[in-house]
Amino acid sequence: MSDCCGNQLPVAAQKSCCGGAPTPSCSSSSNDPFAWFDHMISNCYDYAIAQKSAGYPIVGIMCEFTPREIIMAAGAVPVCLCGGAHSTIAAAEESLPSNLCPLIKSTYGYAVQRSNPFLEMSDLLVAETTCDGKKKMFEMLAERTPMHILELPQKADEATSLARWREELVKLKEALETRFSVKITDDCLRVATVNMNRERDLRRRLAALMERPAPPLTGRRLLDLKSTISCIPEELDALEKVLTILEQTQPPCGIEKRPRVLLTGVPTAHGAEKVLDILESSGGLVVCQENCTGVKPILEDVCTCGDPLDAIAKKYLHLPCSVMTPNTGRFDSLHELVARFRPDCVVDLVWQACLTYDVESARIKRFCEEELHLPYLKIETDYSPSDAPRIAVRVEALYETIRGQ
Ligand code: SF4
Ligand code: SF4
């Protein structure tokens, strides 16, 4: 065993596990920093292949509660495996109930079809006890790929929860050390934290551009400036350049007249942007996504002082997900985001059969209407394009109401 930050690195790689991995050449290194994101999936694929060939393990993750910092500190590459494809759902329904959230089915469908190269190359999956559907799907996924499950305390506000969550993170750290024959030191964790904080900071600054009365980009364009693998050096460089360009970019003509939308609810995994696209193609502008593919995971950094595992545990337990009870953080977050992004309405996206977000939507509606004084629209849908016209009609009616006001 060796210090993963240090000099005696084991196995295939004489590597620095602290984010200093050698990087393959990505097709982004053109002068156009947006190009990296136009080819994001293939760039991530090239990166993952190169890292794996160099002896760096690939670790698949499926939720924002998984601290990427710990995986990176083990010298591994965390890759998001959340499925956003409608095309994989039929394969999943051969063994999963059809009345299940499309995100779960799509993720599992990739496994059935063996069509997600990132899953196929994963040495380990790290998942957690969030919603019931995911938990039970993970048991099936674990039959084909080794998996470590984090037990997530679901009363985030309770005093003992943080200590229990930290214990789970210690178990994850030890599992990674054993599986990959590395030693995760505090220094490794701090380096990974600094890298992740840098990425979060860049993404926060990009998101903040949408606070402007006339932002220089659309919500869809902002969503596309996101990677399924964090902290790829080329990606961070591209993000820096994109930010510099966008800060000086003139807004598209008339963008300030479009109804401003705050999108809350479930994540919109890569490929599952249907509702976001409808919201913008119907004339609106999604100025903020308060969800796991938007600002939710980047609102808070990991503190770099003190014990690194304490700091990581604290940041991740704060994530205001509907699997928590009560999920008070979501109300606080909405309050703050509405003040910053000044939306004209709130749209609450709920994937079909997502019980936690579905049930929580009644309180979110009341909060939006009575406390934030904003029109609220709940959209419950799946990954199928078949209901897009019906959704568009409801969205247009919402925009008419806003214009009428
Ligand atoms: S919404 Fe909740 S369960 Fe889903 S990815 Fe985010 S934190 Fe995880
Ligand atoms: S959207 Fe809801 S049901 Fe689907 S994985 Fe996330 S929390 Fe679970």
pLDDT surpasses 60 at 9: no
Q: How far apart are CA 373 and CA 250, in angstroms?
A: 31
Q: How far apart are CA 41 and CA 267, in angstroms?
A: 18
302-338 per-position pLDDT tens digit: 999 999 999 999 999 999 999 999 999 999 999 999 9
Question: Which residue is closest in CA terms to ligand 1's atom 4?
Answer: 63
Ligand nearest to the CA of 137: 2
Ligand nearest to the CA of 291: 1
CA-CA distances (angstroms) from residue 148 to 125, 129, 168, 208? 6, 11, 10, 35
> How many Å lie between the centroid of ligand 1 and the Cα of residue 5?
30
Helix, strand or coil for residue 322? coil
The average pLDDT across 363-371 equals 98
Ligand nearest to the CA of 61: 1
Strand segments (E) across 138-296:
147-150, 260-265, 285-290
The number of the ligand 1 atom at minimal distance from the alpha carbon of 267 is 1
Q: How far apart are CA 34 and CA 52, in angstroms?
A: 26
269-299 per-position pLDDT tens digit: 999 999 999 999 999 999 999 999 999 999 9
CA-CA distances (angstroms) from residue 403 to 257, 284, 375, 396? 10, 11, 12, 10
Identify which has the larger pLDDT, 18 or 223.
223
The average pLDDT across 226-249 equals 97
The number of the ligand 2 atom at minimal distance from the alpha carbon of 132 is 8
What pLDDT sits at residue 2? 40
Helix, strand or coil for residue 287? strand
What pLDDT sits at residue 12? 31
Name the residue of 141, 323, 354, 381 to mutate for ligand 2: max ligand atoms within 8 A of Cβ: 354
Q: What mean pLDDT is reported for the chain?
A: 93
| Residue 63 near ligand 1, beta carbon < 6 Å | yes
Answer yes or no: are the C-beta atoms of 144 and 111 closer than 8 Å: yes
CATH architecture, domain 34-404? 3-Layer(aba) Sandwich (3.40)
Answer yes or no: are the C-beta atoms of 222 and 246 closer than 8 Å: no
